[in-house]
Structure 1
């Protein structure tokens, strides 16, 4: 890590939590994931030069873009090992997930997917969706991927504690390793499903049909898929309900019980139960 005072050439910033916690997480994930085979390539990367200007992440993101690599998304785990916030509040049961605007952006859809998958495999733990790219005045390596047009999100602990960031007190004794383990499990849950998931449905649309609305989407290239239709209210950050649809690519919706301005998305589900990241949303207006 880097000392908060850039002119201080004496005091160190050991960086146990910022971001030794993130590096430890990806090393453990890489160890576990190396024992399995996935349909997609999963890259575990520790970047250099984040504090000085995102040097490592910007170099990799630019190289991937120049090489036309199909990067479906990037998640950074940055500062994920502490449960005591700067206010003194203790929270060992949630992690913040930051994603960029707008509300229906691919970044938000990825964050919603991470929440759904992570919470399903870690009951009692909450992935808190934060409707902004990062904390005020702060940043992370996901910025570099945003800049190249890639979908990206950030996981970070429930509340920043500046007493243990960018100074000599960023030490292991101020971390919670049981909490860090929970965040690693959240990552494992969404990554394992995502790496084997089909592509997200495309061209999702609503068409008036009598007194109903016909929700339809293009058929995926992968055969044998079923689908989930997801709904969230105008004020909801995440999906309130999921409805399973068989192998059809359309479903008739009765708008009467649905609120005006409800957001609707579709996820493809393969035969093994792997769910795709949610599609672009459509809005039902009455």
Structure 2
């Protein structure tokens, strides 16, 4: 693999924002955002992506009508159109690297993703990210010429990312939002690897990666048809944990309180509050059993990241040549996508991105004490006031150690420590969230390195 990162940014926000909201987001704004996700626009985008025939990473790059090149140019043009509609509020660029010598990319191939960044107004160095995968495939992962419509896997995720940009570009946020159409997923997660390295090299304070990979199917291979549930896959212990951190975690807990897990809990709560008829399930696993997705390269570098996807997969519609055998239709075609459902999961993403970008930064340097004591005390660093003018204060959370979601909370104000009297440290897990003046919260941060979201 050649480690040459080629990025070319255009449209660097020279024009003013044409926004309908300021940087003081509220619950009412989140309800309005959830209501705007359009099944019709998502359907149009998926149909356009399918019309390119195949989006295989090794497919044609010069045609205007077929192949990965045409697809990525169209996606970039769509992001640029969205940016033009908001007065240039989004920076849009291709991000590429030449990959070679890999099992699924044997010859030098430029892997090109489309990245769009909506800069925050008070804390532009803090990022949340939504992604979908451009590329598609059939049964033979090296077949770059056969029709591979990839309607659900993963035109649905790209269409959702475009739609989220259309919605959120109407607003201004404190933190920055990244919309990414990533390439090379089926050939080895290369688009994610390139962008994750870029985030690390540029010093992004990346607080959340929402990888949307298949958000349109409601008919499972198991016969279940359900449009009211979704899965949030979230790994436990950080890949980057040091030996010292692992020893500390052994004695203090944190195996189920990584930032990825608490990000998933956060989105699960948002689904309950803002998305009608959607119950999200937090899955305590990096991804499907022994499978992977584009959040993994970010997790590999220690960033909080989860996979958002449908609950009921249909393997006849994944990675299959288009055909009919024994009365079973195979292939990832348009008739396997429920556009209303894709809009519902898009709305969840948009709400999550907006909530985190409007909320203050998650608390930093959270510590806990209370061994051999009836009381539990948590401490944290005060947030930078210039970056977080929306900060009102902090809330402490705790739950029973076998509870999947936070159960109890207490508002403690704009302080840097608080004590829970007669709440014994041994019996619960604890965390701290920051809260805006309008009541929007950051994810809960578990004390110590196991739960830290970074600076």
TM-score by length of 2: 0.58
Aligned pair partner of 1:126 in 275, 279, 283: 279
Q: Does 1:280 align with 2:446?
A: yes
Contact 1:204 1:265 in 2 (8 A): no
How far apart, in 1, do the equivalents of 2:268 and 2:181 lie? 23
Contact 1:204 1:266 in 2 (8 A): no
How far apart, in 1, do the equivalents of 2:427 and 2:205 lie? 33
Superimposed CA distance per residue, residues 29-62 of structure 1 (whole angstroms, 9 cap, x where no aligned partner): 0011111111111010101110001111111111
How far apart, in 2, do the equivalents of 1:237 and 1:245 lie? 23
How far apart, in 1, do the equivalents of 2:141 and 2:205 lie? 37
Q: Residue 199 of structure 2 corresponds to which residue in structure 1? A: 64
Instruction: Select between 228-237 and 152-161 the one with higher mean Cα deviation.
Output: 228-237
Q: Residue 418 of structure 2 corresponds to which residue in structure 1? A: 250
User: Deviation of residue 85 (structure 1)?
Assistant: 1.0
Contact 1:118 1:187 in 2 (8 A): no
Q: Residue 264 of structure 1 corresponds to which residue in structure 2? A: 430
Q: Residue 109 of structure 1 corresponds to which residue in structure 2? A: 262
Superimposed CA distance per residue, residues 123-164 of structure 1 (whole angstroms, 9 cap, x where no aligned partner): 442121000100012111101111222211110100221011
Instruction: Select between 11-20 and 243-252 the one with higher mean Cα deviation.
Output: 243-252
Q: Which structure is higher in strand share?
A: 2
Q: Residue 166 of structure 1 corresponds to which residue in structure 2? A: 319
Q: Per the alignment, in what secondary structure is the counterpart of residue 140 of structure 1?
A: coil
Count of residues in Structure 1 that have an aligned counterpart in Structure 2: 281
Q: Per the alignment, in what secondary structure is the counterpart of residue 394 of structure 2?
A: strand
Contact 1:38 1:195 in 2 (8 A): yes
Q: Residue 53 of structure 1 corresponds to which residue in structure 2? A: 188
User: Deviation of residue 281 (structure 1)?
Assistant: 4.1
Contact 1:99 1:111 in 2 (8 A): yes
How far apart, in 2, do the equivalents of 1:89 and 1:73 lie? 31
Distance 1:163 1:280, change over 3 A: same
User: Deviation of residue 233 (structure 1)?
Assistant: 2.0
Distance 1:209 1:154, change over 3 A: same
How far apart, in 2, do the equivalents of 1:125 and 1:59 lie? 33
Q: Does 1:198 align with 2:353?
A: no
Q: Does 1:27 align with 2:162?
A: yes
Q: Does 1:90 align with 2:252?
A: no
Aligned pair partner of 1:235 in 402, 407, 419: 402
How far apart, in 2, do the equivalents of 1:252 and 1:241 lie? 11
Instruction: Select between 146-155 and 13-22 the one with higher mean Cα deviation.
Output: 146-155
TM-score by length of 1: 0.90
Q: Residue 225 of structure 1 corresponds to which residue in structure 2? A: 392
Q: Per the alignment, in what secondary structure is the counterpart of residue 71 of structure 1?
A: strand
Higher relative contact order (CA 8 A, sep 6+): 1
How far apart, in 2, do the equivalents of 1:144 and 1:198 lie? 26
Superimposed CA distance per residue, residues 184-207 of structure 1 (whole angstroms, 9 cap, x where no aligned partner): 111111111101111212323133
How far apart, in 2, do the equivalents of 1:26 and 1:7 lie? 27
Contact 1:215 1:253 in 2 (8 A): no
Contact 2:141 2:186 in 1 (8 A): no
Contact 2:137 2:144 in 1 (8 A): no
How far apart, in 2, do the equivalents of 1:226 and 1:69 lie? 24
Contact 1:204 1:218 in 2 (8 A): no
Q: Residue 179 of structure 1 corresponds to which residue in structure 2? A: 341
- Unmatched 5+ stretches in structure 2: 1-135, 238-255, 323-330, 449-455
Contact 1:231 1:242 in 2 (8 A): yes
Q: Residue 16 of structure 1 corresponds to which residue in structure 2? A: 151
User: Deviation of residue 9 (structure 1)?
Assistant: 6.3
